[in-house]
Structure 1
């Protein structure tokens, strides 16, 4: 027997929809579950951020189980139109059958999600629970004035940095963005710009380091010492780490880098040791690195000036009130085929 109980709290439209539509319908009561790419609680939170209302036209890019589209259809009501598009015909056929069987107000179409679905636009809301390499111009073109697009977005030229962007199209056709420290799965690998050097460990391909304005040898040196660095605990959890990471990306300190090593996902700075007189950095001096992870600060040498500089940056962030990601400025950049979101200080 399918339960209609929901753990969601509140009296808003999303809570009403979640109580009216059992998630078990879409996750497969027969054990043939379609695993959602994001949790139910995250889905509810992000649907709330869309500010969904009755009678809206809504496009969901990526069908998944169909559960989110069914919730959106319940909120849009009989006067709205909800369409989900995916390139996986099996998913769209299954979701479409479930929509019809349970009289849920959504339809499913098969096609290239990066093209959106121009035949049903313009849309008041577009929801993309995934992260493209760049935001396709088609999605923005199909967004109505005053409309909202919520999508995963790569928010830096350095790899390993993606978040969730909330983009509003103003009545004048300009775009206003806010970035949140959540993450959707990557739809496609991000393109690393030519000015960013990325190196991978020769013994463990999952370990890498990337930095701008350095050469391959320097980046390789940084990766080697990042892996061997001394970790020390710092009082931060995963969400706080992401907020600091995004703040550091907006601040853009000298030597900024991202990496994944044995110590985990990290962001930090690399430099060369100062001269014997402490007056300047030697281009050929020994490399230094200091990196923050969700649980540690990793530095080598352990008491280097680079470590001290990173700790000063952490102190600056805390002095500013440990600014959350959504409190940072964000800019939307446009070229002919796509849009990018970047954090700004």
Structure 2
């Protein structure tokens, strides 16, 4: 796994490479769920692999060292005494982070020895352990909302002996003991940045998270730094993947619409907009906010984007100058409009975010002037007491935390 990440040009930090090689993943990920039913089939069929069982061990070892996400917990269950074998129903509420995403995030944070590190939503603690291996003992801490997962992670981290700690608490409130941290990493997507995170960012510090919308298709990576003068400078960039949203966020899903779209793709009409490439991240990020309520089906043969709440969709093709549309909402016309505005704004691939100290609306802008793309991030919503987060199935979701 490590050599593949290095060969692909993903892993460049020498300290992080040493941490990846030294942290025993089999201690942090002693079991794993494997989905055995197809997407869209309910209830979901799972199989639990027990790393200590000889019949599961080979498959479990391959999985936890593959770099893929490892599914660990259904519906907030207790993690002691799980029974291996087939399991029916439930949704995953905790996973390990997709390996490439972990490496990219920790390298973006520019970890170094002696830094105080805070992980918000650490799950089983893989990225927290890696950070602790770089920063040094008793400098890395995590805040985990799920009590069973917090205890599970702390027990396994203690076995490794890196001096990392996990406390149970609401990650949106930052670390309950307060303090200032040089590096803050959130493993949960949020609609805007909680004030406590900004307050706990030390001078010269860096804060990294995913900004979540209702679509898993076009996530944004938010990076903030606190200057030596104490000011916050923040940038938002589109990315191919992101973290799952906080509890209470319900992602839109096009999977259930797939049979109807295939049977009736819509009425053809001409278009001047050739389907934008997948890596036009600046455009797709803007579309997530300026044409809200859309979700892409990445498993479709041609570009298919749906508005589930309005029973509408657009299917690109055949050819580059036609599109088929269905429903009361003209999805493709909205994308044409956003694309035209994005081009006039200079095809931005990153956006500045204004984050007021102490709270208040957070404004996003591609630049200055009347042609700039601008929007306001939605506020934080109350978090429900019980998690209800579906297992991600869309191609561009993060396979995580």
TM-score of the alignment, normalized to the shorter chain, above 0.5: yes
Aligned partner of 1:15 among 17, 20, 34? 17
Note the C-alpha offset of 1:16: 1.8
SS in 1 for 2:102: helix
2-structure distance, mates of 1:261, 1:249: 11
Aligned partner of 1:179 among 227, 232, 236? 236
2-structure distance, mates of 1:292, 1:175: 41
Contact 1:164 1:184 in 2 (8 A): no
Extract structure 1 runs of 4+ deviating beyond 6 A: 204-207, 288-293, 305-309, 318-321
* Consecutive unaligned residues in structure 2, runs of 5 or more: 7-11, 32-49, 53-70, 73-93, 258-263, 298-302, 367-371, 373-401
What TM-score, normalized to structure 2? 0.57
Q: 1:7 to 1:300 in 2, by over 3 A?
A: closer
Structure (1 or 2) with the larger CA radius of gyration: 1
For residue 270 of structure 1, what is the aligned residue in structure 2?
none
Contact 1:81 1:105 in 2 (8 A): yes
SS in 1 for 2:362: strand
For residue 149 of structure 2, what is the aligned residue in structure 1?
91
For residues 159-174 of structure 1, the aligned pairs below 5 Å read 159-160=214-215, 162-174=219-231
Higher strand share: 1
Q: Deviations over 1:302-324 (max 9, x none)?
A: xxx99789658647857988543
Aligned partner of 1:340 among 337, 362, 381? 362
Work out whether 1:239 is the aligned partner of 2:241: no
2-structure distance, mates of 1:310, 1:135: 27
Contact 2:265 2:315 in 1 (8 A): no
- Give the total of aligned pairs: 278
What TM-score, normalized to structure 1? 0.65
Q: 1:186 to 1:312 in 2, by over 3 A?
A: closer
Aligned partner of 1:61 among 120, 126, 129? 120
SS in 2 for 1:238: coil
Q: Deviations over 1:40-86 (max 9, x none)?
A: 111111110001111011110012121100000001024x6100111
CA RMSD of aligned residues (A): 4.3
Query: More deviation in 28-37 or 88-97?
Result: 28-37
Higher relative contact order (CA 8 A, sep 6+): 2
Contact 2:125 2:153 in 1 (8 A): yes
For residue 40 of structure 2, what is the aligned residue in structure 1?
none
